[in-house]
A = this chain, B = another copy of it.
Amino acid sequence: MANMKQIAKMAGVSLGTVSHVLNGSAAVRDPLRKRVMEAVEAAGYQPSQLARGLRRDKTNMIGMVIPDVTNPFFPAVVRGAEDIAFANGYRLMLCNTDNDHSKEIVHLNELRTYLPSGLIVIPSNFSDLTAQAAFYRKAGTAVVCVDRLPRDWTGDSVTADNEGGAYEATNYVLRQGHTRLAMITGPRHLTNAQNRLTGFKRALQEKHIHIGPEYVQEASFDKHGGYSKALLLLRMIGRPTAIFAGNDMIAFGALLAFREAGVRCPEDISLIGFDNLDLAEMTSPPLSSVSQPGYQMGTAAAQILIDRVRGDHGPAKHIVLETALKIRDSVGVPPAEERSRVGSGARATRVAAPPRRRGTSPR
């Protein structure tokens, strides 16, 4: 492909002048400038990002490392990050860790040698991000951690109010009159799973409701995890009358388990999720869930990064975004034989489900 030298020759100027025109690094007189632009146009010239990055010690890439593209929550974050990045001239280099911290390390190490302007990470299980991020900082590259944080993370972060959302959801379930609640949490060492559990427990404690440890089951954040743990809960002697799922994928799995076990939702058992994925309104029954602003988490992360690149050296930012309870049909009152034991609770307003046109595109 054409390079600068060729453009310079075509325009009859020196290589340096071409660079000056392209980067505005020096004022170039109009006739020359015009000749250069014409040559660029004619040749369809694009400067080599590789050479430019090598020279400038920085490329226009933003690295983004996520556990798994196929979990619908993450693409929303990616989308948010990409929109802001692209609008500011940055490109996203996306890597899957598959929730494998060794794969994460490989990606982080290699990504670094591409000299990205910044890095957005949703850490994998057992992530060693804190150590890795130190290398990036040494190279002057900002790192933002999203959704879940390594234990000792002190850098910039963007998360949802996981505890608050879980607290609100649990209270809502309690108000329907449930007293035997269970939770299927995500992996306990993930801060988001932890915080949701904390919110759940806090709501229970405030109402002086005690549940045995067997009512809190840990699962991976996916359909299979939800399916198997829900089956387990259904088989318990004191079967819970309501389940709080650590995320919607778990809830979907639970729904599958309900169906297979012939247990009706919400008549026999209530269910509430977390994430409010697009498809929560499509399930049978439509799933009540805590809405978490994935897209905004992505935009916020990208914005922090861009601010850092532009010279913001202020203290670490910890952005916590609000959640919102979306009430649909998966939570009802407890079955009659259970209900007799408690007073009837409050009710909540319902959400109609018109399809929203999202900012996404068809395929």
A115: which B residues are within 8 A, CB to CB? 48, 50
Q: A256-B355, A355-B224 are in contact. Are A361 and B114 (CB under 8 A)?
A: no
Contact B110 A91 (CB under 8 A): yes
A251-301 residues with Cβ-Cβ distance < 8 A to B are 252-253, 255-256, 259-260, 278-279, 281-286
Given A46-B109, A114-B50, A353-B256, A247:B282 Cβ within 8 A: no
What per-residue 1/0 map shows which CB atoms of A228-252 lie under 8 Å from chain B?
0000000000000000000101001
- Contact of B253 with A355 in the complex, beta carbons under 8 Å: yes
A116 CB to nearest B CB, Å: 10
**Which residues of the other chain, B, contact A353 by a CB distance below 8 angstroms?**
256, 259
* Interface segment, one of A92-100, A209-217, A318-326: A92-100
- Chain B residues, CB < 8 A from A112: 1, 46
Interface membership of A113, Cβ < 8 A: yes
Q: Which of A54, A73, A100 has its CB near the most chain B CB atoms (within 10 A)?
A: A54
Pick out which of these stretches binds chain B: A64-72, A168-176, A200-208, A342-350: A64-72
**Chain B CB within 8 A of A220 CB:** yes
**Also in contact, A256 and B281, with CB within 8 A (given A358-B70, A360-B68):** yes
> Looking at chain A, what size class is its interface with the partner chain?
35 or more
Q: Given A94-B92, A284-B285, are A252 and B279 neighbors across the interface (CB < 8 Å)?
A: yes
A167 within 8 A of B: no
Chain A, residues 88-128, CB within 8 Å of chain B (1/0): the string is 00011111101110010001011111110000001000000
Looking at the assembled complex, report how far the CB atom of A43 sits from the nearest CB atom of chain B, in whole angstroms: 11
Is A139 an interface position by the 8 A CB rule?
yes
Residue of chain B at shortest CB distance from A124: B361
Separation in Å of the A88 CB from the closest CB of chain B? 13
Do B54 and A48 touch across chains, with their CB atoms under 8 A apart? yes
Q: Which residue of B lies closest to A286 (CB)?
A: B284
On whether the beta carbons of B355 and A223 are closer than 8 Å, the reply is yes
- Please, how many angstroms separate the alpha-carbon atoms of A46 and B113 in the complex? 7
Residues of B near A187 (CB, < 8 A) are: 362
Answer yes or no: A76 CB below 8 A from chain B CBs: yes
With A69-B75, A69-B79, A256-B282 as contacts: A361 and B110 at CB distance below 8 Å: no
Q: How far is the CB of A180 from chain B (nearest CB, A)?
A: 25
| Chain B proximity of A274: nearest CB distance (Å) | 11
Can you sample 19 A-B contacts with CB below 8 Å?
A1-B112, A46-B109, A48-B115, A49-B113, A50-B54, A67-B361, A69-B69, A70-B75, A70-B79, A71-B363, A73-B363, A86-B96, A93-B93, A93-B94, A99-B362, A222-B362, A252-B282, A256-B281, A279-B282
